[in-house]
Amino acid sequence: MLRFKSGVPVSGLVPELYQALDKATAIFDEIGKDCIVTSARNGKHSATYSRHYAGLAVDLRRKHLDLALTETMRQRLTEELGSEYTDILESTHYHVQYKPHYHP
Query: Model-level pTM?
Result: 0.86
CA distance linking residue 60 with residue 36, whole number of Å: 6
**What does the pLDDT read at residue 103?**
46
**What does the pLDDT read at residue 104?**
47
**What does the pLDDT read at residue 46?**
57
Measured CA to CA in angstroms, residue 74 lies from 4, 11, 28 at distances of 19, 25, 11
